[in-house]
């Protein structure tokens, strides 16, 4: 079966550009024993993919030049030689960025389209939702009445982290990059929301006393949060997207000595280490979404060939909530 896929043509220098990607057509063989052929329908683009485009050692190996990219994707089984899967089943795999994937059944998770919209497996009920859940609850340890500051608050992870903090009885401050995003945060019940492009974080946080900082951004946001932190505040170091396109290391926060004097806890984490929390997460998040206590938004880009644009748009802030690509198969 023919399939188009997106390959990494060049390692991006700074912000990725069209020429760093190429679309190629390939022939996908029939599945062997234990394998399944999946027609991908909906794929995720995620900030971590930017790090994998660099040739550096990290917690996952880099993407290889000339090879197809990969990442979270929802698709439908078109042929199966694994007894656990039948034609027509909806599945989640990590072989996105292509129309058709030939994959071992053991790497697939079956999805029930009647239980929740399929897209949620890539967002609020998927990896970004779990990230918000374990980051905020296990590292942030929010207590009722705490002030929680979330940066990147209108994104997939941030919007969920902020809403969980509200559910736990906290006062929540969120930052985002456009007035439209700020308006959405207010709709979600954030107590304070500001546009960091209009008001620098240090100014916006003046007079605030932060107990938990959920950091998606790093840079000036991190420095401002250290400045506004209460003693013994917890810093959930989830991501530092303001640094991902840097071509050389930039200086860290200038006020690091306050980490000592304020007795701050800064802890990084990677969600794949916390799969043990998935059952609790599914139980709680499914219920919160069903009861309307956690709301989510998705931003769609159409066409596999536009997946690089979706990815570049994600880094530039084009998305509200989860950024997704509808593949619109030609295969
Ligand atoms: P988002 O949906 O939040 O999309 C990225 C957003 O980042 C953009 O919409 C943009 O929004 C914002 N952004 C981009 N550049 C800057 C900048 N210079 N300063 C401030 N904001 C910026 O992505 P995710 O929710 O998927 O990821 C959020 C963070 O969580 C990322 O840092 C990611 O790496 C991290 N993450 C970490 C995981 C872990 O295991 N530790 C797992 C998953 C995600 P805006 O318009 O507001 O600028």
- Ligand 1 centre and the CA of 216: distance in Å? 5
pLDDT at 329: 84
- Mind listing the domains of the chain with CATH numbers? 2-123+296-326 (3.90.180.10), 127-273 (3.40.50.720)
pLDDT at 2: 96
Instruction: Assess whether the C-beta atom of 314 lies below 6 angstroms from ligand 1.
Output: yes
Instruction: Report the nearest-CA residue for atom 16 of ligand 1.
Output: 242
Instruction: Assess whether the C-beta atom of 158 lies below 6 angstroms from ligand 1.
Output: yes
3-state secondary structure the chain: CEEEEEEECCCCCCCCCHHHEEEEEEECCCCCCCEEEEEEEEEECCCHHHHHCCCCCCCCCCCCCCCECCCCEEEEEEEECCCCCCCCCEEEECCCCECEEEEEHHHCEEECCCCCCHHHHHCCCCHHHHHHHHHHHHHHCCCCCCEEEECCCCEHHHHHHHHHHHHCCCEEEEEECCHHHHHHHHHCCCCEEEECCCCCHHHHCCCCCEEEEEECCCHHHHHHHHHHEEEEEEEEECCCHHHCCCCCCCCCCCCCHHHHHCCCEEEECCHHHHHHHHHHHHHHHHHHHHCCCCCCCEEEEECHHHHHHHHHHHHHCCCCEEEEEECCCCC
Q: Which tokens hold the place of 19?
A: 């020429």
Close Cβ partners of 42 (under 8 Å, ≥ 6 residues apart): 73, 74, 75, 118, 119, 122, 324, 325, 326, 327
Indicate the top mutation candidate among 184, 239, 274, 325 to test ligand 1's pocket, ranked by most ligand atoms within 8 A of CB. Answer: 239
Inter-residue contact 89 to 109 (CB < 8 Å): no
pLDDT at 180: 98
Instruction: Assess whether the C-beta atom of 49 lies below 6 angstroms from ligand 1.
Output: no
Point out the ligand 1 atom lying closest to the alpha carbon of residue 128.
43
* Pairing of the two strands 21-27 and 2-8: antiparallel
pLDDT at 330: 86
Q: What is the pTM of this model?
A: 0.98
Report how far apart, in Å, the C-alpha atoms of 326 and of each of 83, 115, 300 are: 28, 20, 7
Instruction: Report the nearest-CA residue for atom 32 of ligand 1.
Output: 239
- Ligand 1 centre and the CA of 80: distance in Å? 36
- In the numeric block, the tokens 């079956």 are attached to 110
Instruction: Assess whether the C-beta atom of 178 lies below 6 angstroms from ligand 1.
Output: yes
Ranges of the chain with pLDDT below 70: none
Instruction: Assess whether the C-beta atom of 270 lies below 6 angstroms from ligand 1.
Output: yes
Instruction: Report the nearest-CA residue for atom 3 of ligand 1.
Output: 155
- Ligand 1 centre and the CA of 115: distance in Å? 28
- In the numeric block, the tokens 């069209």 are attached to 18
Indicate the top mutation candidate among 59, 179, 241 to test ligand 1's pocket, ranked by most ligand atoms within 8 A of CB. Answer: 241
Inter-residue contact 153 to 186 (CB < 8 Å): no
Find the angle CA(138)-CA(61)-CA(76) to the nearest 5 degrees.
Answer: 80
Q: Which tokens hold the place of 131?
A: 């990230």
Span between the terminal Cα atoms of the chain, in Å: 7
């Amino acid at each position: 079966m023919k399939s188009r896929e997106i390959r990494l043509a060049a390692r991006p220098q700074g912000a990725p550009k069209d020429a760093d990607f190429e679309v190629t057509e390939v022939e996908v063989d029939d599945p062997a024993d234990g394998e399944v052929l999946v027609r991908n329908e909906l794929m995720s683009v995620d900030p971590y993919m930017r790090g994998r485009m660099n040739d550096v050692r990290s917690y996952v190996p880099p993407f290889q030049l000339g090879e197809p990219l990969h990442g979270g994707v929802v698709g439908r089984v078109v042929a199966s030689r694994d007894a656990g899967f039948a034609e027509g089943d909806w599945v989640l795999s990590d072989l996105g960025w292509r129309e058709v994937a030939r994959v071992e059944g053991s790497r697939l998770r079956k999805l029930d389209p009647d239980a929740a919209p399929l897209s949620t497996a890539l967002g609020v009920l998927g990896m970004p939702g779990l990230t918000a859940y374990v980051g905020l609850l296990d590292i942030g340890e929010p207590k009722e009445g705490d002030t929680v500051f979330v940066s990147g608050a209108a994104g997939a992870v941030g919007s969920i982290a902020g809403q969980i903090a509200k559910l736990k009885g906290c006062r929540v401050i969120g930052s985002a990059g456009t007035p439209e995003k700020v308006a959405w945060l207010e709709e979600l019940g954030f107590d304070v929301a500001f546009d960091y492009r209009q008001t620098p974080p240090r100014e916006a946080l003046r007079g605030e006393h932060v107990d938990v900082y959920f950091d998606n951004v790093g840079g000036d946001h991190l420095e401002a949060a250290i400045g506004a932190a209460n003693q013994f505040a917890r810093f959930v170091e989830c991501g530092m997207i303001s640094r991902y396109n840097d071509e050389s290391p930039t200086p860290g926060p200038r006020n690091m000595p306050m980490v000592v004097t304020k007795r701050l806890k800064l802890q990084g984490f990677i969600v794949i280490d916390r799969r043990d929390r998935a059952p609790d997460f599914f139980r709680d998040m499914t219920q919160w979404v069903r009861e309307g206590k956690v709301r989510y938004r998705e931003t769609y880009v159409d066409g596999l060939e536009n997946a690089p644009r979706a990815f570049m748009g994600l880094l530039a802030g084009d998305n509200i909530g989860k950024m997704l690509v509808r593949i619109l198969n030609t295969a």
